[in-house]
A and B are shown apart, each in its own frame.
Chain A
Amino acid sequence: MNCKKAKKLLSAYLDGEMNEHCRQDISEHLKICSDCNKEYGILFHQDTYLKQHDSIEPSPVFRQNFWRKIRDAESNTVKNKIAEKILRWWLPAPVFCSFVIFIFLIFSVVSPLLYGQNIKTSEKIVQLVKKMCLPSNQQKIFSPLNFTDFCDEYCQILCESHQQKSGSISECGRCKK
């Protein structure tokens, strides 16, 4: 065992983290080498000093503050769960209904053009849609009653158009014409 190797192993020797054979080699070397023995002494006292000093006690309010943080975190968790419930279950319903009405509106405006209605009918439908959807109007289509009125008026326009185009013997149950 030379000094270079011994000095590298002094840290593990100090910690008792080496096999018996190696430990005995180091012990024998320390008995005969004053330089390594001095180095070992420095490391030993360094460790001893570290252990004895610079330790702190927890403050008296540490535990109290910790449980307060737990309570705050738990109450936030409850609030987050309620918010999640609202976002997941309640909010999508009106959003979905609005989406359905929106699709219906688009269809209402586009279908007369798709199904070859005359220009007068198409204009009447466009006017009806504008009336129900413009922000300046009092009546908004997104209320159930106004939506029903919209459907009635729309059917009436289509009915009149068909009456003029094809005519009918029987009375229309909806618009009575």
Chain B
Amino acid sequence: MLEDDDIKLFLEFQRGDKQCFEKLLDKYEKPVINFIYHMVGSREDAEDLAQEVFLRIYRAAANYKPSSKFSTWLYRIAANISIDYKRKPANKLHAVTDSIDKPIVTDENEITKEISDTSKSQPENILEQKRINETVRSALLSLPSNQRIALTLRVYENKSYQEISEILSCSVSSVESLLFRSRQNLKQKLTASF
């Protein structure tokens, strides 16, 4: 367990080295935000929830004793927070309203374009790309929570079945089944949309 570099960093942070926590943030900030984004569908909520994840990690440092890989622990917290968020009645009917081109409001200025489109810049292609992205995101969000978590961890985070089973506290064969069903469901929804 102590061979995990992330655990070593976190234990150093536990001893008082705050730079180690910054290093962990550098490594996991974007993956965790994206993981939660694929779970909840809203950028602002994804960032708020990601901050909550890191807050919990920060507070847990005092009593931390490694019992699994650091990333397993981190993603387990992120998954639980996402599921709790989706369980709240106000968030159950949350529609995919975020647009990829929606301006990001900062203290100083706005960033109006988030993802650069490397394909042809014709308006029709951009609109079509947006439509496809929103359809895919909508289909992903409509999957049951466990299927969505399993598929997100596999496809976006490249986690093994063993790691996913530890995060979801289930067997490897359950993970296999979840991924099979999530891909079939996604296929059906995307086939119906396109």
Contact = CB atoms under 8 A, between A and B. Distances in A.
B69 interface: no
A50 B136 contact: yes
A58 B33 contact: yes
Contacts of B132: 53
B81 interface: no
Interface string B33-61: 11001100001001100110011001100
B155 interface: yes
Interface residues of A, number: 28
Contacts of B54: 66
B133 interface: yes
A155 interface: no
B29 A62 contact: yes
A66 B34 CA distance: 16
Contacts of A73: 55, 59
B51 A11 contact: no
Interface of B: 25, 29-30, 33-34, 37-38, 43, 46-47, 50-51, 54-55, 58-59, 100, 104, 106-107, 111, 114-115, 132-133, 136-137, 140, 151, 154-156, 160-161, 176, 179-180, 183, 186-187, 190
15 contacts: A11-B180, A43-B183, A46-B190, A47-B183, A50-B155, A55-B156, A57-B114, A58-B33, A59-B43, A60-B111, A62-B33, A62-B47, A62-B51, A65-B47, A69-B51
Nearest to B51: A66
A49 interface: yes
B155 A12 contact: no
Contacts of B151: 50
Nearest to A60: B106
Contact of A53 (B30, B136, B183): B136
A61 B133 contact: no
Contacts of A17: 160-161, 176
A43 B154 CA distance: 13
Interface in A37-54: 42-43, 46-47, 49-51, 53-54
A54 B136 contact: yes
A70 interface: yes
A70 B55 contact: yes
B106 A61 contact: yes
A59 B104 contact: yes
Contact of B38 (A49, A54, A59): A54
A34 to B, nearest CB: 18
B156 A51 contact: yes
B51 A59 contact: no
